[in-house]
Chains A and B, each alone.
Chain A
């Protein structure tokens, strides 16, 4: 079977600043891939391009056989209309660093909203699905709460439930524990670990080295807008081939001892 996500020579510019300079990578069905790299190396931009939140200038992103975000007209790319972009985004779940929950509706409605308005499920069925995902992330008792009543870790678990409830083919995680107090990181990581074990395809930007080492099947090191190195966690973390990855990992060693 071919990869579920295929990115070919992706270029993304903000004005004259080229953030992605030819990224190519594949993610297989059920695979958990983590992206690491210094801030500014293009990780977040890459995720945002995959979810069609950003336009890109060159290259292709395929989800299965579908070209994401664009229509191909004799070698030229034309941006899809908003309605089709929306349909494609529904198949790619994204969890943000800052949670981005909707503050004016309950936790249950946050998760059910997309099921009702995008997946066109009847309201009671949508709420049943939403409730079961909230239970899965350990928040069965918070369904009626509003986001501001929850801790950061709880909010992020709601955001994960919201993304995964849509039944996406691919889940993107953008530094989802970076905005959390240290004692709340574990509860979010264990939810992600649970999703990884149950076969979800995940592309995870994370600097939680425990997660990278124990959950990821493969690690990709991004540097200067390209994939600089990739491989299984053990190999990449312990025998880095490039100097830049060695330097990058060195910073973590200083903090955590042995990685």
Chain B
């Protein structure tokens, strides 16, 4: 029995590692894609803006689970066969990017026009203004909603269990299946999810305090 519990714990930790891997990949991909889409929403010409807007609004209006199934069962129709892990990550990234795009757009548009004027007046070009002035200011405002998105993604990774990806949730179900120890493993799993998300939000809070000196 003790051996079964030990094995269960090991499996749970493996599941946790998969959950962390999924979350990390999705956060990076979602943030990069979200940044690009957010910039398109804010600065693109009419066509680019409309395309970005259509993407963001469509994806935000669809349940994540539907996106996940669409990537896993739908993409093969178009000749793109993804593993359950790849399909899940793709779906979550597409979902995350749409949300982060709105965060990016909101953060940038909250920076006063005067900052752009000041940066233009000394002759900085578009990308220089963005890199040296607008984004450093906007990122401080994007941080709190970005943390929300990150926490949602960690929790959303549990949906990949429905495709058979053995992440934390499915690992727990497997362990419960052969140890028949239900509540302690449920509680431990909940605790692990909480620990991950609490770490994210505390780190963000520290960063926020680090930037708190900034006033206009």
Q: Do A and B assemble together?
A: yes
Assess whether A53 is in contact with B118, with CB atoms less than 8 Å apart: no
Which residues of B are found within 8 Å of A146, using beta-carbon distances? 213-214
Q: Chain B 139-153 against A: per-residue CB contact (8 Å), 1 yes, 0 no?
A: 010000000000000
- Please state if A102 and B133 are interface contacts (CB–CB under 8 Å): yes
> Min CB distance, B121 to chain A, in Å?
4
| Docked pose: A180 CA to B115 CA in angstroms | 19
- B residues in contact with A53, CB < 8 Å: 117, 120-121
A89 to B126, CA, bound (A): 13
Count of chain A to chain B residue pairs whose CB atoms are closer than 8 Å in the complex:
76
**Partner of A114 from B122, B136, B137 at Cβ < 8 Å:** B122
A101 CB to nearest chain B CB (Å): 7
B124 near A86 with CB under 8 A, answer yes
Q: Which residue of B lies closest to A116 (CB)?
A: B132
Tell me which of A67-75, A92-100, A182-190 binds B.
A92-100
- Does residue B164 face the partner (Cβ distance < 8 Å to A)? no
Taking a contact as CB atoms closer than 8 A, the residue among B122, B140, B214, B215 that contacts A89 in the complex is B122
List residues of chain B with CB within 8 A of the CB of A90.
Answer: 122-123
The minimal Cβ–Cβ distance linking B54 to chain A, given in whole angstroms, is 26
B120 touches A89 (CB 8 A): yes
Contact B121 A117 (CB under 8 A): no
Provide the residues of chain B in CB contact with A162, threshold 8 Å.
122
Chain B residue total in the interface (Cβ 8 A): 22
Q: How far is the CB of A150 from chain B (nearest CB, A)?
A: 12
Say whether, besides A96-B114, A100-B115, A102-B118, A114 and B124 are in contact (CB < 8 Å).
Answer: yes
Contacts of B133 in A (CB 8 A): 102
Complex Cα gap A110–B106 (Å): 25
CA–CA, A85 and B137, complex, Å: 24
A34 within 8 A of partner (CB): no
Q: How far is the CA of A51 from the CA of B116 in the complex (A)?
A: 13
Q: Does the CB pair A87–B216 fall under 8 Å?
A: no
A113–B215 CB distance below 8 A: no
Q: A104-B136, A104-B137 are in contact. Are A86 and B125 (CB under 8 A)?
A: yes
Is A148 in the interface zone, CB < 8 Å from B?
A: yes
B128 interfacial contact with A, CB 8 Å? yes
**Distance from B198 Cβ to chain A, minimum over Cβ atoms (Å):** 29
Q: Is the CB of B124 within 8 A of A117?
A: yes
Judge whether A118 is part of the interface by a CB distance below 8 angstroms: yes
The answer to the question of B119 belonging to the interface, with a C-beta cut-off of 8 Å to chain A, is yes
Contacts of B124 in A (CB 8 A): 86, 113-114, 117-118
Bound form: Cα–Cα A102–B131 in Å: 13
Q: How far is the CA of A165 from the CA of B105 in the complex (A)?
A: 33
Smallest beta-carbon distance A120→chain B, Å: 11
- A166 CA / B118 CA spacing, docked (Å): 13
A63 to chain B, nearest CB (A): 13
- Minimum CB–CB distance from B181 to chain A (whole Å) comes to 52
CA distance A143 to B171 in the complex (A): 57
Whether A51 contacts B122 in the complex (CB less than 8 A), given A104-B214, A117-B128, A148-B215, comes out as no
By a CB distance below 8 angstroms, the chain B residues around A91 are 123
Q: Which residue of A lies closest to B118 (CB)?
A: A100
Closest chain A residue, CB of each to CB of B211: A104
Interface flags, B2-37, vs A, CB<8A=1, else 0: 000000000000000000000000000000000000
Does the CB pair B125–A83 fall under 8 Å?
A: yes
Q: Is A82 an interface residue (CB 8 A)?
A: yes
What residues of chain B have their CB less than 8 Å away from a CB belonging to chain A? 114-115, 117-126, 128, 132-133, 136-137, 140, 213-216
Q: List 12 A-B contacts (CB under 8 A).
A: A51-B120, A53-B120, A86-B123, A86-B124, A96-B114, A100-B118, A117-B124, A118-B122, A118-B123, A118-B124, A166-B122, A166-B123
Instruction: In the A-B complex, list the 4 residue pairs whose CB atoms are closest, starting with the nearest.
Output: A90-B123, A100-B118, A114-B122, A94-B121
